[in-house]
């Protein structure tokens, strides 16, 4: 794998509530330099990121119903629509975790579908469904993947990074097994070094959500060049 290939698998992310405007602008500058796939920020920062990335081959990603997923589905759909209007190309939505754990699969399906329907009003919008795997049983993870696929999502994503416990290679492998090559798999939540990033890719991830993207790339470039 080349460094450019790894960079194109990374969503360079800053989602903490205390993130400042200067930090968002630095995130965008770093994305330009390294050629990351996307910059992932809270919805309030989407217009700023759109402007800062003008002319760059970097996509604008944001989060919906984040981080707990227990927003009313009509609100998620509205939030998704506004984010797209303001320039988002990719939507990482958190499912209704409590509904999934309550076996209310119809509610989870309609929750995801509401965001997917908003996204499909524009061409090229990608929807990633965040399961928050550390809170789920294996059976719930499988069902979450199946519901995401049934609802028309593009990716299944492991974690927000805000729950206890983050991503594991076992979770990534399970998701890949369930969705096959029909959906993408995004690993996120605790990927802070190159070894972990590569382990997630080997397990089946084709996208990584990282806030430590720059240090991961520098580590990779050091190994690639020997400098």
Q: Which residues are catalytic?
A: 92, 157, 186
CB count within 10 Å of CB 8 equals 17
Q: How far is CA 18 from the centre of its chain?
A: 19
User: For 145, which DSSP code?
Assistant: H
If phi > 0 it is left, if psi is from -120 to 50 it is alpha, else beta; for residue 225 that is alpha
Q: How many whole angstroms separate alpha carbon 12 and alpha carbon 57?
A: 13
Residues 6+ apart with CB under 8 A from 214: 12, 30, 34
Cβ atoms of residues 118 and 126 within 8 Å: no
């Amino acid at each position: 794998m080349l460094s450019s290939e790894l960079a194109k698998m990374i969503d360079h992310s800053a989602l903490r509530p205390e993130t400042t405007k200067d930090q968002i602008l630095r995130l965008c500058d770093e994305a330009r330099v390294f050629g990351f796939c996307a910059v992932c920020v809270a919805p309030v920062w989407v217009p700023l990121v759109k402007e800062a990335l003008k002319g760059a081959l970097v996509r604008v990603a944001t989060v919906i119903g984040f981080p707990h997923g227990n927003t009313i589905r009509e609100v998620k759909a509205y939030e998704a629509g506004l984010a797209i209007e303001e320039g988002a190309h990719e939507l990482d939505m958190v499912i209704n975790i409590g509904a999934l754990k309550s076996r209310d699969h119809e509610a989870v399906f309609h929750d995801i579908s509401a965001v997917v329907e908003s996204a499909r009003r524009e061409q090229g919008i990608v929807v990633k469904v965040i399961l928050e795997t550390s809170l789920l049983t294996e059976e719930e993870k499988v069902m979450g993947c199946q519901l995401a696929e049934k609802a028309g999502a593009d990716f299944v994503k492991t974690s927000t990074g805000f729950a206890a416990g983050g991503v594991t290679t076992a979770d990534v492998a399970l998701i890949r097994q369930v969705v096959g090559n029909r959906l993408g798999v995004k690993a996120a939540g605790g990927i802070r070094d190159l070894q972990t990033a590569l382990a997630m890719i080997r397990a089946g991830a084709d996208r990584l959500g990282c806030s430590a993207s720059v240090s991961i790339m520098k580590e990779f470039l050091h190994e690639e060049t020997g400098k």
